[in-house]
């Protein structure tokens, strides 16, 4: 019937509109929280711009955001910024990967072997308490200001959080889980692959996240003290030349890169947790 057909058509259109509206609201609910972190940055930039425009501070002490943006553009188009970035990130990648691998192996072995724990735990905990920055002068004396000391300082910063996370994960494996391995007469390799390794993945990811932040910070600090290239060296050279805009470019990039790396590991851990629950 015509009336029933028109009613069906109206209901279908209303249903599509409701579905489209629900889809838009769902997208907004997902997008707005993810962009909420930009609000404090925008407020800070506005306050910063206002303070610099009032002349309360001389431009030699507080550079306007527009000047920093221009310095970033000039450094990027000249190729200087990309060169320093690639050098710093290469050092970070090499040192962090080595530190994580060594730390994970050592932490697992220390958690499995009571003898190794008794022998290494005192020295491990003593060195762990020493700030990585405090070792920079010693490493410079031993290895000079070349790449070796910078990679070693990154290894040290990444090693201890990962090793401690792996050790705690192995030690916290329940007795029931260990009894299952005995009941099924699993070999040492099978026990490691089927029981210990899955139990250590999430804690080790957390340790890697912590170690990455420390590694990035200590690397920039080492470059500030002794380096011929890198983000830290770029900031130090800008300080010597009284180019505060260049210094601020380095400071902001250091924070943005550190935040981005931490965010990436946070997403990785979230996906890993979903995979384990599945």
Other beta carbons within 10 angstroms of residue 64's beta carbon come to: 15
Give the pair of three-digit tokens for residue 162.
Answer: 């990962």
In-domain check, residue 6: no
Do the domain assignments include residue 88?
Answer: yes
Asked if residue 34 has pLDDT above 90, the reply is no
What is the predicted pLDDT for the residue at 246?
93
Tally of structural domains, the chain:
1
Query: 177 in a domain, yes or no?
Result: yes
Asked if the structure places residue 18 within a domain, the reply is no
Residue 30: band (very low, low, confident or very high) from pLDDT cuts 50, 70, 90: low
Q: pLDDT of 100-151, one tens digit each? A: 999 999 998 888 888 888 888 899 999 999 988 888 889 889 988 888 999 9
User: Is 264 domain-assigned?
Assistant: yes
Task: Write down the pTM of the prediction.
Answer: 0.79
CA distances from 176 to 12, 54, 172 (A): 57, 68, 11
- Is residue 207 assigned to a domain? yes
The 10s digit of each residue's pLDDT in 231-250 is 999 999 999 988 899 999 99
DSSP string, 100-124: HHHHHHHHHHHHH-HHHHHHHHHHH
- Assess if residue 22 is contained within a domain: no
Among 8-22, 40-54, 123-137, 152-166, where is mean pLDDT lowest?
Answer: 8-22
Higher local confidence (pLDDT), 137 or 23: 137
Q: Which two tokens stand for residue 102?
A: 């060594």
What CATH code is carried by the domain that includes residue 221?
A: 1.10.3720.10
The parent domain of residue 198 ranges over 69-277
Contact 224/43 with Cβ under 8 angstroms?
A: no
Q: For residues 71 and 73, give the distance between their C-alpha atoms in angstroms, rounded to a whole number.
A: 5
- Which of these, 153, 143, 122, 275, lies nearest to 205 by C-alpha position? 275
How far is the C-alpha of 131 from the C-alpha of 121, rounded, in Å?
Answer: 18
**Closest Cα to residue 222, out of 131, 98, 100?**
131
Q: What is the mean pLDDT of residues 191-196?
A: 72
61 located within any domain: no
* pLDDT, the chain, mean: 82
Q: From residue 137, give the alpha-carbon distance in Å to each of 124, 149, 150.
A: 21, 10, 11
């Amino acid at each position: 019937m015509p009336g029933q057909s028109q009613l069906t058509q109206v209901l279908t259109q209303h249903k599509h509109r409701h579905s489209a509206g629900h889809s838009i609201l769902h997208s907004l609910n997902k997008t707005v929280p993810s962009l909420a972190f930009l609000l404090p940055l925008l407020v800070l930039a506005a306050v910063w711009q206002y303070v610099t425009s009032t002349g309360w501070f001389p431009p030699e002490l507080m550079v306007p955001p527009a000047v920093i943006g221009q310095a970033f553009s000039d450094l990027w188009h000249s190729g200087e910024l990309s060169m320093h970035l690639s050098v710093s990130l290469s050092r970070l990648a090499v040192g962090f990967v080595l530190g994580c691998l060594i730390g994970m192996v050592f932490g697992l072995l220390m958690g499995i072997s009571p003898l190794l724990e008794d022998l290494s735990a005192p020295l491990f905990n003593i060195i762990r308490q020493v700030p990585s920055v405090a070792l920079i002068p010693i490493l410079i004396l031993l290895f000079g200001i070349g790449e070796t000391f910078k990679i070693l300082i990154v290894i040290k910063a990444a090693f201890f959080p990962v090793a401690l996370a792996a050790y705690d994960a192995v030690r916290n494996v329940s007795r029931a889980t260990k009894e299952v391995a005995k009941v099924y007469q699993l070999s040492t390799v099978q026990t490691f692959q089927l029981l210990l390794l899955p139990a250590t993945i999430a804690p080790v990811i957390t340790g890697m996240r912590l170690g990455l932040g420390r590694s990035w910070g200590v690397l920039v600090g080492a470059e500030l003290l002794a380096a011929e290239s890198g983000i830290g060296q770029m900031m130090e050279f800008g300080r010597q030349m009284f180019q505060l805009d260049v210094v601020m470019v380095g400071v902001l990039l250091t924070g943005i890169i550190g935040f981005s790396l931490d965010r990436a590991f946070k997403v990785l851990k979230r996906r890993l947790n979903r995979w384990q629950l599945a």
